[in-house]
Amino acid sequence: MADRKIILSAVLGDGYGSLPFAWRAPQVDPGNYANIDANIRYAQAAERGGFAFVFTPDVPAVRSDVERSSIPNIMDPLMEAAAISQATTNIGFVLTGSTTFQEPFNTARQFKVLDIMSHGRAGWNAVTTSDPMVAANYGKPVADRGERYQRAHESVQIVQSLWGSWEKDAWIKDQATGRFIDPAKLQPINLGGQHVASRGPLPLPPSEQGQPVVFTAGGPSPHLLEFAGRYASGFLAEVWEIEEARAQRDAVRKAAEDAGRNPDHIKFFTGLVTTVAPTVREGLDRRMALSGGVFDARLPHLGAMLGVPLRPQDIDIPLTPEQLSVAHAAPGDPRSGIALRLAQAGWSPRDMLAHGAIDFHPVTVGPGHVHADHMQEWFEAGATDGFWIMPDVWEDGLDAFVDEVVPLLRERGVYPDDYVGSTLRENLGIPEQYGIGGWLK
């Protein structure tokens, strides 16, 4: 633990950014969504910053008001990563894939091919898909959680077994003796459950890291914790406050221990939406310009988070002492504490909203040290092993992070100076894996 360092990851998605109108930013080409060159550029920027992996969420459906907003999703995680793998050398790929709407054999195959094509840099973020708009694209309703997790267990066991169906040195390929594969080291898996089944073996050899790394993502429900504890080497969390993050990280580590695993072999990541700017003010202005004018509509929600009714005409006025004296963090919304601290610091409601008080993940805005401080504090408090970074606008936001935040983290000794190795497992600090997973032993 002495040389424990922050692990960084960059989200890749639609090619624009986390702000609703990022696609309209002057520095952004509005065709980026369908232009693989954009995500190649961003992955290369992240690689320049020593990021361990890019992370692609995946919610494949047209869900937003597409007349004015972009479709906030990557075209396809695996297909884009296949292309990006050829233009990068060290950065890993943690790609979301559904256990509900994918056949385990197809998942095992495509992730393993990415692992091979990237020389050991693939990871699978295994999620049970609960979005009804996605389910409808497969002509199905959303199953209840019990059924989704039953299928998820079956799927990941089949996938990991298929990955392990070749032992480390099964592929001999000796032209002189004519032995291609050692048949004793290549075995079918013959696994079948209630929902999915496969015989195997997978027709694919191990990669430089053995097999892809399993991640999962979500809140700390008992279902997800058990799933993560058994199979996952990475956990992508959604959490706003440092205490809550530490509790979640402890719960995830305990779940791994309960499953008989080393808790250091599951890494816990919290999210961070970043706007890097010379000053906080400039950062807020940058965010405002691309927020799509949603602030007026969100004002009542912000008021509810603070327990203080906010009127439209007061949007630019910091809360009065009277308002502050009754303001409190509403317990129903985990972001309320952040909003309260901003209010107490004298921010206007508009600036609080521009800061992302009602966004999906914690937000940091301002010069490099603002972001570095947040990360160092969380990391040193044992609240996280690293961060997935979601820039406001990819085109310049990721470069700004690499140029202005990464050097500070390195100066402070909390971030590695270079890649530890060329595989994802090496850069995460988890062991290579060959053969069948521990859960079957």
Known binding positions for FMN:
58, 96, 149, 221
Instruction: Please check whether residue 36 is in contact with residue 409, taking contact to mean a CB–CB distance below 8 angstroms.
Output: no
Peptide bond into 391 cis (omega under 30): no
Tell me if 205 sits within 8 A of 241, measured CB to CB: no
Selection from ligand FMN, its own copies, none that 130 binds (CB < 5 to 8 A by kind) is: ligand FMN
With CB under 6 A as the contact rule, the residue among 15, 57, 123, 437 that binds ligand FMN is 57
Number of chain residues interacting with its own copies (CB under 8 A): 67
- Annotate each residue in 225-244 with x if it binds ligand FMN (CB under 6 A) or - if it does not, as one string: -----------xxx------
85 lines the binding site for its own copies (CB under 8 A): yes
Rounded CA separation 154/261 (Å): 19
* CA pair distance 201, 182, nearest whole angstrom: 13
User: Is residue 82 involved in binding its own copies (CB under 8 A)?
Assistant: yes
Distance of CA 189 to the CA centre of its chain: 30
Asked if 107 interacts with its own copies (CB under 8 A), we say no
For ligand FMN, give the closer residue by CB, 221 or 320.
221
For residue 219, state whether it binds ligand FMN (rule: CB under 6 A): yes
Q: Are 261 and 234 in contact (CB under 8 A)?
A: no
Q: Does 326 bind its own copies (CB under 8 A)?
A: no
How many Cα neighbours within 13 Å face the side chain of 57? 22
State the number of binding residues for ligand FMN (CB under 6 A). 20
Using CA atoms, how far residue 47 sits from 87, 395, 402, 404, in Å, is: 11, 15, 9, 15
With CB under 6 A as the contact rule, the residue among 32, 39, 88, 96 that binds ligand FMN is: 96
Site for ligand FMN in 133-152 (CB under 6 A): 145
Question: Is residue 7 near ligand FMN by the rule CB under 6 A?
Answer: no
Nearest distance from C-beta of residue 52 to its own copies, angstroms? 22
Q: Which is nearer to its own copies, 196 or 352 (CB)?
A: 196
DSSP output for 182-246: -GGGB----EE-SS-EE----S---BTTBSPEEEEEE---HHHHHHHHHH-SEEEE---SHHHHH
Annotated binding site: 58, 96, 149, 221
Q: Give the interface with ligand FMN as residue ranges (CB under 6 A).
A: 57-59, 96, 127-131, 145, 217-219, 221, 223-224, 236-238, 271
